[in-house]
Amino acid sequence: MHDFHVHSSFSGDCKHSMENMVKGALKIGAKSIAFTDHIDYEYGNPDINFVFDIKDYLKDITKIRNKHSHDLQILSGLEICMQPKVCEKNKILVSDYNFDFIIMSTHVVKGLDLHEGDFFENKKVLDAYEEYYNEILNNLDSFNNFDVVGHLNLIDRYSKYMNGTISLADYRDLLIQVLEKIISLGKGIEINTSGIRYGINSFLPNIEILKLYKHLGGEIITIGSDAHTPTDICSNYEDAKILLKDLGYKYISFFKERKSRFIKIE
Ligand SMILES: [Zn+2]
Ligand SMILES: [Zn+2]
């Protein structure tokens, strides 16, 4: 198992040390994990700090990597929260340091947070989806120093804030544009298993989007638990692998020093 989305106490919303997260990984028998702590220069909520010292972060990863070199491969990554206004800062950050793997995520749209629900206020469901995916397109246009797009359909997690329902057919063309853009940039997506834990009964992205990505020629895909606690490392990993195989995917992707290689799905 190779979990390419793991948080530690460097993320403002995670209280578990790297050491504890590594213990969780060892307990479940993971082969490798990538720490992808969450950096956000403009989160907008003063109660949570998503900025940390990158030098300290990389130093701690190196320390724990060396300590566990015999039993676990530990990779250094980031989950970058992209917003157009922090694009330049993120560009400098990623080029100034050596990471193994970069996830680009969109948690905030036009300065409004999806998680807190602000983004959905007084908005029709279709408008929310269009704004969300257009923002991802903007982010893809302005920043391409990343490896995979995180939880591509994150918006699906927040139906509780929306009045009404929507089906993929309503915004399919826009979604295709996003997927085609990712593929044309030579980048990938992740299958983020946290959707199951958050009760939406599906991975992020869901089966429909995974099918569409494959159909459009998408090949690069990592599996990530988005664990914020040691027990969530590699959660539903086997299910994700089986699903990918069922959908015709032959490989999952593995990143080291920002280079990808394919690992055959057994
Ligand atoms: Zn995220
Ligand atoms: Zn995350």
H, E, C per residue of 66-129: HHCCCCCEEEEEEEEECCHHHHHHHHHHHHHCCCCEEEEECCEECCEECCCCHHHCCCCHHHHH
Alpha-carbon gap, residue 168 to 165, rounded angstroms = 10
Average pLDDT over residues 228-244: 97
Coil, strand or helix at 171: coil
What total number of domains does the chain contain? 1
pTM of the predicted model over 0.85: yes
Ligand 1: centre distance to CA 204 (Å):
11
The ligand whose atoms approach the alpha carbon of 14 most closely is 2
Ligand 2: centre distance to CA 189 (Å):
13
- pLDDT greater than 80 at residue 182: yes
pLDDT in tens, 27-55: 999 999 999 999 988 876 777 788 889 99
pLDDT in tens, 84-134: 888 999 999 999 999 999 999 999 999 898 988 889 999 999 999 999 999
Phi-psi region of 166 (alpha: psi -120 to 50; beta: other; left: phi over 0): beta
The ligand whose atoms approach the alpha carbon of 232 most closely is 2
- Residue 69 CA to its chain's centroid (Å): 25
Ligand 1: centre distance to CA 246 (Å):
26
Instruction: Provide the pLDDT for residue 204.
Output: 96
Ligand 2: centre distance to CA 232 (Å):
12
Ligand 1: centre distance to CA 136 (Å):
13
Q: Residue 190: pLDDT band by 50, 70, 90 thresholds?
A: very high
**Contact at 8 Å (CB) between 107 and 119?**
no
Ligand 2: centre distance to CA 71 (Å):
24
Tokens representing 38?
């969450």
pLDDT in tens, 238-262: 999 999 999 999 999 999 999 999 9
Ligand 2: centre distance to CA 38 (Å):
6
71 exposure class (CB count in 10 Å sphere: 0-12, 13-18, 19+): exposed
- Residue 134 CA to its chain's centroid (Å): 18
Tokens representing 262?
């394919």
The DSSP call for residue 199 is T
The ligand whose atoms approach the alpha carbon of 3 most closely is 2
The CATH number linked to 148 is 3.20.20.140
Nearest to 152 by CA among 92, 212, 75, 65: 212
Q: Which domain range does residue 114 map to?
A: 2-264
* Nearest-10 crossing angle of helices 54-67, 18-28: 40
**Residue 242 phi, psi (nearest 5):** -65, -40
